[in-house]
């Protein structure tokens, strides 16, 4: 298979002027050199996209996705590097380009399609298909200014998507119309894909990337950060995003972490630096540390919904106890809805009472939680209910999910159809 798009060492930067000279007078009067900063937007990007491949471009705002798409469309030109595209390119960067409000729907179809470079014959061949797709049969001879904005967008999208280019570049325009129309658009894109058209899609809807694309490219600060199978790239990307969020939100949490570790070393310190309102008990048994571990047994506060988790509770027994203590854990959502709670007694776990200083492990093979933030409570008490140490919200963690399901618990499930 041939390469439909090949890009080599593409570079593009924008000049950001301190003060932009806009007129001739200013330009002429300005003797000193213009002050500007060169901001690289696309920085040394190379990739090849095969014919018939569908690629999703993901990345944060300002990562250069749209600029890259504009470069591919030849709206802007690269500072250096090469772009080679085989076949006719159509880009859906803007819907309804050249639409005139006083013209009828059908006239605007001709106008708009001709901007994409179609000849009259080609447009006439497709016009019925376009009208049908837009579901605007009744209104097609009315001026576009009488359309609702949804109808307008439908007509625009219908025209653009039916141009049938060899290479289609799509920028965030899938969010058009109602749910049923959106499905239709996605189906149309799937159809194009089946016709071996090459498609590059910029979107923030990662579900679409995973479901439709053969490959995903993650751009970060103008460079390719990851390029590979969509599921993998999207996961990495989501993880990165969540990590960024976490580090922004809990700059203080890191300090807390350090305090806890320090505590472990100086166990004799009676004074606890943790928020006492969230902790109470006689400290006959003291919980000295709580950790959430990932499957590699390293500390982690970010988990995928399918990941396993081990909660480790460090404890010290400070007084001689008459009976076996009970350790408990509970997981809550951010808004304090209890997801699950259990303890060693309920689970009939035999705690080794000879250990005076140890770590208890609570292993969850798969979290199966929906995306969101969760907090962990741990506690230790005796059988009569006397609390030794109760830590509320001692640990927060975030779950990210590939699927956009709702609720709290991700029930294992499958769908089946039976013909009757």
Partner 1 sequence: MFVNMLEVYKYREMLKNLVIRDLRTRYKESVLGFLWTLLNPILMLIIYTIAFKTIMRMDMPNYSVFLFSGLLPWTFLQTVVSTNTSIIVNNSGLVKKIYFPHEILPLSATLAGAINYLLCLIALFIAMLYFHIDFTLSLIYFPLILLIEIIFIQGLSLLFSSINVYFRDVSHIVSILFMAWFYLTPIFYPLSMVPEKYRHLYELNPMTKMEQSYQAIFYYGQAPEIKGILISCAYALASFLLGSFVFNKLKKKYAEEL
Q: Does residue 14 belong to the site contacting partner 1 (CB under 8 A)?
A: yes
Asked whether 411 and 366 are in contact (CB, 8 A), the reply is: no
- State which of residues 49, 64, 68, 110 lies at the interface with partner 1 (CB under 8 A): 110
Q: Does residue 395 belong to the site contacting partner 1 (CB under 8 A)?
A: no
To partner 1, the closest distance from the beta carbon of 190 in angstroms equals 24
Considering the complex, state which of residue 16 and residue 264 has its C-beta at the smaller distance from partner 1.
16
- State which of residues 18, 32, 61, 77 lies at the interface with partner 1 (CB under 8 A): 77
Considering the complex, state which of residue 131 and residue 163 has its C-beta at the smaller distance from partner 1.
163
Which of these ranges, 100-108, 147-155, 212-220, 317-325, lies near partner 1 under the rule CB under 8 A? 100-108
Which of these ranges, 43-51, 74-82, 259-267, 402-410, lies near partner 1 under the rule CB under 8 A? 74-82
On the CB side of 163, how many CA atoms lie within 13 Å of its CA? 29
Q: Does residue 24 belong to the site contacting partner 1 (CB under 8 A)?
A: yes
To partner 1, the closest distance from the beta carbon of 114 in angstroms equals 4
Which of these ranges, 97-105, 286-294, 310-318, 379-387, lies near partner 1 under the rule CB under 8 A? 97-105
Considering the complex, state which of residue 27 and residue 356 has its C-beta at the smaller distance from partner 1.
27
Q: What is the Cα–Cα distance from 264 to 281, expressed in whole angstroms?
A: 18
Considering the complex, state which of residue 24 and residue 277 has its C-beta at the smaller distance from partner 1.
24
Considering the complex, state which of residue 89 and residue 285 has its C-beta at the smaller distance from partner 1.
89
Q: Does residue 103 belong to the site contacting partner 1 (CB under 8 A)?
A: yes
- State which of residues 1, 18, 23, 406 lies at the interface with partner 1 (CB under 8 A): 23
Q: Does residue 106 belong to the site contacting partner 1 (CB under 8 A)?
A: no
- State which of residues 43, 86, 114, 345 lies at the interface with partner 1 (CB under 8 A): 114
- Size of interface with partner 1, in residues (CB under 8 A): 31
Spatial neighbors of 115 by CB under 8 A, at least 6 apart, are 97, 98
To partner 1, the closest distance from the beta carbon of 25 in angstroms equals 7
- State which of residues 42, 57, 59, 73 lies at the interface with partner 1 (CB under 8 A): 73
- State which of residues 48, 117, 196, 386 lies at the interface with partner 1 (CB under 8 A): 117
Q: What is the Cα–Cα distance from 106 to 103, expressed in whole angstroms?
A: 8
Residues of this chain that interact with partner 1 (CB under 8 A) are: 14, 22-25, 27, 70, 73-77, 89, 91, 93-94, 97-98, 100, 102-103, 110-111, 114-120, 123
């Amino acid at each position: 298979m041939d390469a439909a798009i090949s890009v080599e060492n593409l570079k593009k930067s924008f000049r950001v002027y301190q003060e932009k000279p806009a007129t001739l007078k200013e330009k002429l009067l300005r003797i000193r050199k213009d002050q500007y900063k060169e901001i690289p937007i696309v920085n040394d990007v190379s990739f090849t996209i095969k014919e018939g491949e569908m690629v999703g471009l993901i990345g944060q705002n300002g990562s250069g996705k749209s600029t890259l798409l504009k470069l591919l469309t030849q709206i802007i030109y690269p500072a250096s590097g090469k772009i080679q595209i085989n076949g006719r390119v159509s880009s859906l960067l803007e819907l309804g380009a050249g639409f005139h409000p006083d013209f009828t729907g059908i006239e605007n179809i001709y106008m708009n399609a001709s901007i994409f470079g179609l000849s009259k014959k080609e447009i006439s061949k497709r016009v019925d298909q376009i009208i049908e797709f837009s579901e605007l049969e009744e209104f097609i001879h009315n001026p576009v200014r009488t359309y609702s904005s949804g109808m307008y967008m439908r007509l625009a999208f219908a025209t653009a998507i039916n141009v049938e280019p060899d290479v289609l570049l799509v920028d965030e325009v899938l969010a058009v119309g109602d749910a049923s129309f959106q499905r239709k658009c996605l189906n149309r894109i799937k159809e194009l894909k089946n016709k071996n058209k090459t498609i590059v899609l910029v979107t923030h809807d990662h579900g679409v990337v995973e479901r439709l694309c053969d490959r995903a490219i993650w751009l970060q600060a103008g460079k390719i950060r990851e390029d590979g199978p969509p599921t993998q790239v999207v996961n990495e990307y989501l993880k990165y995003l969540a990590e960024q969020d976490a580090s922004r939100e809990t700059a203080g949490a890191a300090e807390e972490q350090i305090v806890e570790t320090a505590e472990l070393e100086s166990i004799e310190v009676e004074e606890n630096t943790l928020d006492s309102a969230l902790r109470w008990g006689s400290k006959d048994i003291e919980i000295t540390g709580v950790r959430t571990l990932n499957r590699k047994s390293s500390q982690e506060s970010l988990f995928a919904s399918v990941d396993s988790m081990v909660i480790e509770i460090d404890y010290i027994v400070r007084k001689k106890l008459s009976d076996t203590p009970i350790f408990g854990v509970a997981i809550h959502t951010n808004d304090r809805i209890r997801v699950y709670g259990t303890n060693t007694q309920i689970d009939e776990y035999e705690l080794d009472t000879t250990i005076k200083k140890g770590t208890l492990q609570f292993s969850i093979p798969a979290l199966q939680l929906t995306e969101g933030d969760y907090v962990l409570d741990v506690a230790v008490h005796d059988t009569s209910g006397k609390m030794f140490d109760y830590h509320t919200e001692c640990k927060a963690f975030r779950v990210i999910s590939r699927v956009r399901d709702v609720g709290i618990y991700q029930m294992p499930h499958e769908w089946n159809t039976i013909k009757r």
